Structure 1
Amino acid sequence: MALTQFGKKFFQKRWSTLTLPRRHGYIVLVPEIGEDLPEKNPLFQQNGLPEFNALTIENCMAAIGKQTLDFEIGVQNIEESIQKNLIKDVFTNVLDPIENIGAPLDTTWGLSKTLYLGNSTLMPTKSYLAIHDRARKSRATKFNSPYIFKAVNEADTSKRSEEQLRVLRKYQLEGKLNGLNMKDRDKSKLKECLNKLTAEKNKFKAKTEASTKSFSHQLKDPHIVKDFPVDLLSAMSSDPGRGPWVATLQPNVYMPFMENCAVRDLRWNIWLAMVGRGSSFGHENYSTSTTLEEIRFLRREQANILGYKSFAEMSMETKMAGSVENIKSIIDLLMDHARPAQERELTCLYEFAIQRDFKDSKIELWDVPYWRNLQQLNLYRYKDLDYLPYFPLSKVIDGLFSLCKRLFNIDIVQRTDVSTWAKDVKYFDVLDNSDTPLSGFYLDPYARTSQKLHIPYHNGWMVGIQNRSKIADMKPLAALVFNFMPPRGDKPCLLTFKDVKLLFHKFGQALQHLLTQTSYSDVSGLSNVEWDVVEVCGHALSHWLYNKSVIDSISSHCDTGDKLPAEMFDALINVRKHMAGLDLCRELYLSALDLELHSSKDFWLDIVRNLWPHYRCFPLHKYDAHPCSFTQIFVEEWAAAYYSNVWSQIIAADIYSAFHEVQNNEEQICEVGKRFKNTYLALGGSCNPCETFRKFRGRDPSPKALLTILGLKKVKSVDPK
């Protein structure tokens, strides 16, 4: 059903039908075949699980080589059948066979990624990228086939299930965005445009990385770093206790430095270097302004060739939001609450700083992290490391599994006779009122310095090794890979609250993969889920960490066994609300900037100057060129999609509010959990996300729950009379 304008209310009308993330510009390559696979494939055991102990780069490459070739030949055979008019039913003769021949390839791809993240000595980066590139290009042949595209467009849809319609829609949209419905001349133009776009994105990435690495500032005065946390000192020096210490723009240094450095000039210096990356004021060879504009131009050209007015409009094809206008309406609605809150928060922060000898006439952007951190400590006595003793990993895992049992009536049971890629990796079966597992997952919790991929501030992954497919007779299989600190001596593995939140978030995503009930892998779990709602299940499960009974179930002091004290739990609630207006305004600004950059033809700096005052309470610094290093939208896959994080938080908060509304009735909580399991966890990408929400909530979404959680209620004006 079509969307209508929101006005003052949120989602008064139904949301439009959307589909999967965009893919385009594929090149089909027939891979070389590696060594012959032995009769017994070493990738799998008789129990249906991978033989990780026997996996090598060579047999992974051999498997991928054979499976990609088999897949491409299978697609060619289907194309020949279509050409000969031998197709009686598009599912029986086209899509079901594709499902069967593609299943082994997808699974080997998932295994390779798991090894890459879990044991880089077995699967080095170069080897994984070769496998990834080969598998991706081969798998794309089914979406790049004009014959299959024609068959799905001509298919009779009158007696199809909702899931089958979503599968058809996926093929139709993929083909459309690949230009399969265009003339050869336009296809050539599209291909040329995409090749140029790839080159410009690579150029932007290289320049931004070089600019980031080029800055460093050495500190020799121990007095400056005396209050720095140990992790920050370790990241800044090979000799944390004696120094010297080097401030850089790397994510594990920059923000902790800004939060802990009391010297204002040093904060200003590193902040200026961060926001000035890619600007014309810096190193000329690192300037990205021209590259940025070229990327915008090429994306606009790409969209125009495909029949869209703008890249942002094209992006909405794969989003729940449906249109740029709907997103802007939500941004404006949230700003009505967030902007006044930001102003109050900054006034309060300035008064706090003045009381502690802050000398300037106003708070600047480079002051906020430091004074915010101090204010948070002063108000709530919150220190992340204070929570560490209360969250032993084993206790958190037990509590998490108990919560899943309570909400979704599933049992998660460890199985020990399973091959893994490291000795501390565990395997679990997921059971649902039966002795036969529904699915299974590996848990790899600990950092292994010499073996494991480690990216600061990105220490957790959920890998869908194998999707559910009734057609190919496959059960879901996943891997959860983290970099938590391993046990030391007689101390167990202890988690910070941030670690706990990461674990819950990734497990929420895993549940959507593991509990899906679809027939086709193309719409199973997170496959085919719109980009702006991919994080919803992760956010929804994370909300339970602000429920006292759940915190009690996952906390146990490593020395005393005590639950997390009430005052420490209250601090968690308050910290989530602290400066929430400022944070939300920043996210809404970047979301609006992203959309405008991909809708308008105006120069990027003019767009910034126009938007900034509406969202930010700070003057725009003349050297601030933050779009010139905005890699999420110019290098990664979040162009015209940066808003997705806020959008998914709105949906997740509304989902959790359904549980909160019946919090005192255990029977009703279980009923809501069952409904969530039967919608979000079971349907995955097989149902339009608007309909999935309606099936769960009985209405359209509202931002009210998120605003309440963040404490962003409008302050009523007082009548002077």
Structure 2
Amino acid sequence: MSYLKLLKVPKQLLLTRTTQLISHRNSGFIVLVPEIGEDLNADKNPLIGENDLPEFSSITIEKCVGVVGTQGLIAEKKLRELEESLTEKTEIKDVFTEVFNPLEEISSPLDTTWGLSKTLYLGNSTLMPTKSYLTIHDRARRVRVAKFFSQPIHLALKAAQNKKASTEEYDDSQKRLINKYLLEASLNGIELEGASRYQLMEVFDKLNQERSKFQGKLKAARRHFKQNCNDPKIIKEFPLNLLQAISVDPKAHPTKGPWRITLEPFIVKEFMKYCPDHHLRWNVWQADVRKCSTQQEKAVETSTNIEEIRFLRRQQAKLLGYKSFMDMSMETKMAGSMKTVTDTLGNLLDIARPSQESEIAGLQEFAEKLGFHKKLEIQDVPYYRRLQLEEVHGFDQEVIKEYFPLNKVLVNMFSLAEKLFNIKINERSSVNRWHENVKFFDIFDLETGGKEPVGGFYVDLFARDDEKLFEAENNGWMVAVRSKCELTKTKPLAALIFNFKKIPDKPLLLSIEDVQMLFNKFGHSLQHLLCKSIYSELSGLTNVEWDAVEIGGNVMTNLIYNENILRKITAHYSNNDPLPEKLISAVMNQQKHLSGFSLCRELYLSALDIELHQRKDFWLEIIKELYPRYHVFPLDKKDAHPCSFEQIFGGEWGGAYFSHVWAKLVAADVYSAFFEANKSQNEEEFIEVGKRFRNTFLTYGGNLHPSEVFRRFRGRDPSPKALLKSLGLIASKNIESN
């Protein structure tokens, strides 16, 4: 077995803060930073206490950076030793004992420190400022991905795969582990040689630069637009969180004004829902869809950048042997093929598009009854949609919130999980935390006796303006602090971090969106904590295909719309009265209201991402062709929304945006099994479905392909019928209205 030295990768630009929290799986670049504060004499992680939990009260920035530096050097030294050992061997008898076991021991300490740093970054930025976290993140990530650039490891795994290809010696998880390493290495160009490999590294380098430029310009463009508002009549119905976001004077009461509208996503979204003035809505909307276009200042124009990103991604795919970037992207997707994706999205569009037409016609009639005598335009939809939901369906957000006190929802969410998944969740108060309001919970597996906790999780619920990272459009996180690994006897740890804002002299009340986020992130944590895996590389959400990552969280979110569960998690905060039937109906109807319009929008963005990464045509020609298929509204001549499509050009969702729809589709089909069991009013059947869900989706993690996980849960492949039914778009004999 010949030894080929690791190719050194050019130094990369640091990414923005948002993308630092996303795992850059298969992104194909390494970030190099200077070494700081390493000390090879450390033989114990000083951040972990005697109870095997982090000692947050004693953590300093210097200590964190120093520990990561030390662990990084130790890991690099051990990796070199492993490579030398493999190079000297003429045969690998057991690839798991000789390769994977040492890799787990090398990675585990550093991964834990990295996860702890992420937790502090989100939970207390005074303990872990952005600059310090970026240093730690980049140092840890550089070390972690080095194994995928190792020729000795890659050759050993290829030999093992070829040797056992015709046998049944490997179980599913072992095959997944081997395939994971080989695919990661392949997509990072390990099989390329000479000029081709150097060219790929240049492509990665340029891609990172172009994405950073895109993000910087988008951020500047959002700040550049300012729409002043001094009229109290305009902001009359604005919710408090929106008023706080647009108040010019942060020290003054938000209802006093003046107010200023910018193009931050949360502000635009909420402003369009609550602004009663058609002309103001149009002004903000047109500024939003034209930002970063050639109609704006050249300094913030991104059209050039997105075309360069598309070109570089085509080059990347070509060098790696793929027809297009989309075809390459499918290597890491549950859907498996472009035909499956396009057929599925097309079937959904066939139902959603006609529904959109009737929905908008009905909204037009509703608006006219309120005195709006113009033809509705797309920027008018959010405002009249909200009013229609309130007046026709009785969905009053502020009234409904009174029945969702945080403590009531949280306690009953835990009780639901205990019943469905045969676990026990107990709070432990004697745990070191990063803030006094943080709580820690042990989770016990009653299926195995429940004597010792199988893992634990922190819950940090409340906003702290001076301490915690706040992103209004993405304000809840599940951090995998530490992954399960049987080899190193490591128990999983997770952190649920939110920014729910307290109002003085009143319990914290949750909106429907808040409840959905709480259930969603808790679902992610259950996948992380209940997974049974020998290797951390397959534990929890690690190694789960992109379009399957959100399935568990979405299933938990769907459970909110089970009427029995909805009743259990709600009660009026002042008198404990149950949620009235009319409000139950309002909550149930809310997810179906204008669902054809919303689904078409998601299908359009998915199709746009696909076409941009399959074709060479200029982006403007592509949207002119696609837009009319998905919208009843005409495309504005100056609409340049792809120029600010952050998720695919600044984030990690290029070639993967359809994953959002796919995960919802699969989750709806999973939930339909709960619904079918619930129809019989037999609680044992309902719990049996929960047990089956736990023993598949929550147990396997990345040990089994999600298509097979679904088949073991449902006995067939996923169908779009359940999603369409949950949105009120079709009737089904098997799945009645829930």
Give the TM-score normalised by the residue count of structure 2: 0.92
TM-superposed deviation, 1:35: 6.0
Q: 1:695 to 1:228 in 2, by over 3 A?
A: same
Larger displacement relative to structure 2 (216-225 or 302-311): 216-225
- Whether contact under 8 Å (1:392, 1:556) holds in the other structure is yes
Alignment correspondent of 1:541: 556
Moved more, 388-397 or 69-78: 388-397
Contact kept? 1:35, 1:59, Cα under 8 Å: no
On the 8 A contact 1:364/1:618 being kept in 2, the answer is yes
Equivalent residues in 2 for 1:619-630, closer than 5 Å: 619-630=634-645
Distance 2:731 2:426 in 1: 47
Q: CA deviation at 1:709?
A: 0.5
**Counterpart position of 1:114:** 119
1:481-492 equivalent positions in 2, closer than 5 A: 481-486=497-502, 488-489=504-505, 491-492=506-507
2:567 aligns with one of 543, 552, 555:
552
Q: Cα offset for 1:290?
A: 1.4
Which residue type is aligned with residue 544 of structure 2?
V
Q: Determine if contact 2:45/2:109 at 8 Å carries over to the other structure.
A: no
Distance 2:145 2:45 in 1: 25
1:668 matched residue in structure 2: 685
Partner of 1:438: 454
Q: Distance in 1 between matches of 2:276 and 2:502?
A: 33
Quick one: which amino acid aligns to residue 224 of structure 2?
A: S
In the alignment, is residue 311 of structure 1 matched against residue 325 of structure 2? yes
d(CA) in 1 for partners of 2:368, 2:731? 27
Q: Does 1:247 align with 2:240?
A: no
Alignment pair present for 1:475 and 2:491: yes
Query: Does structure 1 retain, via aligned residues, the 8 Å contact 2:445–2:453?
Result: yes
Whole-angstrom distance in 1 between the partners of 2:686 and 2:221:
51
Question: Once the 2 structures are TM-superposed, how far is the Cα of residue 233 of structure 1 from its aligned partner?
Answer: 2.0
Between the aligned partners of 1:64 and 1:104, the Cα distance in structure 2 is: 9
CA distance in 1, matches of 2:703, 2:194: 33
- Structure 1 residue 608, shift from structure 2 partner: 0.6
Matched, 1:653 2:683: no
| C-alpha separation in 2, matches of 1:209 and 1:493 | 32
CA contact 1:392–1:494 (8 Å) conserved in 2: yes
Verify: 1:92 aligned to 2:90, yes or no. no
1:160 to 170, 185, 188: 170
Question: How far apart are the structure 2 equivalents of 1:593 and 1:572?
Answer: 32
For the residues of structure 1 that align with 2:320 and 2:137, how far apart are their CA atoms?
A: 27
Percent pairwise identity = 49
Kept in 2: contact 1:532–1:641 (CA 8 A): yes
1:425 Cα offset (Å)? 0.6
Instruction: Tell me the equivalent position of 1:262.
Output: 276
Match of residue 12 from structure 1: none
2:219 to 209, 219, 229: 209
Q: Give the secondary-structure state (helix, strand or coil) at the position aligned to 1:173.
A: helix
| In structure 1, distance between residues paired with 2:33 and 2:77 | 12
Alpha-carbon distance, 1:311 to partner: 0.5
Q: Distance in 2 between matches of 1:496 and 1:32?
A: 45
2:452 aligns to what SS in structure 1? Answer: coil
Paired with 1:291 and 1:29, the residues of 2 have a C-alpha distance of 25
Q: Give the CA deviation at 1:401.
A: 1.2
Moved more, 563-572 or 522-531: 563-572
Residue in structure 2 matching 1:407, options 420, 427, 435? 420
Moved more, 152-161 or 590-599: 152-161
Q: CA deviation at 1:154?
A: 0.6
Structure 1 gaps of 5+ residues are 1-18, 716-721
Following superposition, the deviation at residue 603 of structure 1 comes to: 0.9
Distance 1:36 1:81, change over 3 A: closer
Aligned pair partner of 2:381 in 357, 368, 380: 368
AA matched with 2:226:
S
1:22 equivalent among 22, 26, 32: 26
Describe the superposition over 1:460-495 as per-residue Cα deviations: whole angstroms up to 9, x where unpaired. Answer: 100001100011110111000111124734x33322
Gapped runs of 5+ residues in structure 2? 1-22, 733-738
Question: Is contact 1:609–1:620 with CA below 8 Å preserved after alignment?
Answer: yes
Letter in 2 for 1:177: L
| Preserved CA contact (<8 Å) 2:39 2:70 | no
Give the direction of change, closer, same or farther, for the CA distance of 1:644–1:316 in structure 2 (3 Å limit): same
Alignment of 1:35-54 (within 5 A): 41-54=45-58
Q: Deviations over 1:538-589 (max 9, x none)?
A: 0001111111221222112121011211111110111110000000001001
Q: Partner residue of 1:350?
A: 364
Contact 2:39 2:69 in 1 (8 A): no
Alignment partner, residue 176 of structure 1: 186
- Tell me what 1:564 maps to: 579
| 1:20 and 1:527 in contact (8 A); partners too | no
Question: Residue type of the partner of 1:375?
Answer: Q
Letter matched to residue 274 of structure 2: N
What corresponds to 1:611 in structure 2? 626
Distance of aligned partners of 1:350 and 1:714 in 2 relative to their CA distance in 1, 3 Å threshold:
farther
Match for 1:176: what amino acid? Answer: S
Do the aligned partners of 2:40 and 2:73 also contact (CA within 8 Å) in 1? Answer: no
Q: Does residue 232 of structure 2 align to residue 230 of structure 1? A: no
8 Å Cα contact 1:465-1:478 kept in structure 2:
yes
CA contact (8 A) 2:32 2:139 kept: no
Superposition pairs of residues 457-472 of structure 1, within 5 angstroms: 457-472=473-488
Cα deviation digits, residues 135-171 of structure 1 (max 9, x gap): 0001111111111111111114331121111010000
CA distance in 2, matches of 1:275, 1:643: 21
Number of residues of Structure 1 aligned to a counterpart in Structure 2: 695
Is residue 152 of structure 2 the alignment partner of residue 147 of structure 1?
yes
Q: Counterpart of 1:279 in structure 2: which amino acid?
A: S
The alpha-carbon deviation at position 284 of structure 1 amounts to 2.3
Counterpart position of 1:503: 518
Q: Distance in 2 between matches of 1:592 and 1:53?
A: 48
Give the SS at the match of 1:464: strand
Quick one: distance in 1 between partners of 2:271 and 2:728? 28
Q: Which deviates more, 551-560 or 93-102?
A: 551-560
Please list the CA deviations of residues 488-536 of structure 1 after superposition, one character each: whole Å capped at 9, or x if unmatched.
34x3332222211111000000000000001000010000000001010
CA contact (8 A) 2:527 2:540 kept: yes
**Alignment of 1:580 onto 2:595:** yes
For the residue of structure 2 that corresponds to 1:461, the secondary structure is strand
1:422 is matched with: 435
SS in 2 for 1:463: strand
Q: What's the counterpart of residue 12 of structure 2?
A: none
- Going from structure 1 to structure 2, the CA distance change for 1:389 and 1:300 (only over 3 Å counts) comes to same
- Name the CA shift for 1:589/1:93 in 2 (closer, same or farther; >3 Å): same
Return the match for 1:64 from 64, 68, 89. 68
Q: Which moved more, 1:216-225 or 1:572-581?
A: 216-225
Aligned pair in 2 of structure 1 residues 39, 336: CA closer, same or farther (>3 Å)? closer
Q: TM-score, normalised by structure 1?
A: 0.94
Aligned counterparts of 1:455 and 1:37: Cα–Cα separation in 2: 40
| Superposed CA RMSD | 1.7
Q: How many Å separate the matches in 2 of 1:203 and 1:41?
A: 38
Aligned counterpart, 2:727: 710
SS of residue paired to 1:123: coil
SS of the aligned residue for 2:392 comes to: helix
Kept after mapping to 2: 8 A contact 1:37/1:63: no
Letter in 2 for 1:288: T
Structure-2 change in CA distance of 1:40 and 1:525 (3 Å): closer
Which position in structure 2 is the counterpart of 1:689? 706
2: CA distance, partners of 1:635 / 1:28: 20
What is the CA deviation profile of residues 627-660 of structure 1, one whole-angstrom value per residue up to 9, with x for unaligned ones?
0111110110000111111100000000011111
CA contact (8 A) 2:403 2:570 kept: yes
2:24–2:652 Cα contact (<8 Å) kept: no
Partner residue in 1 for 2:373: 359
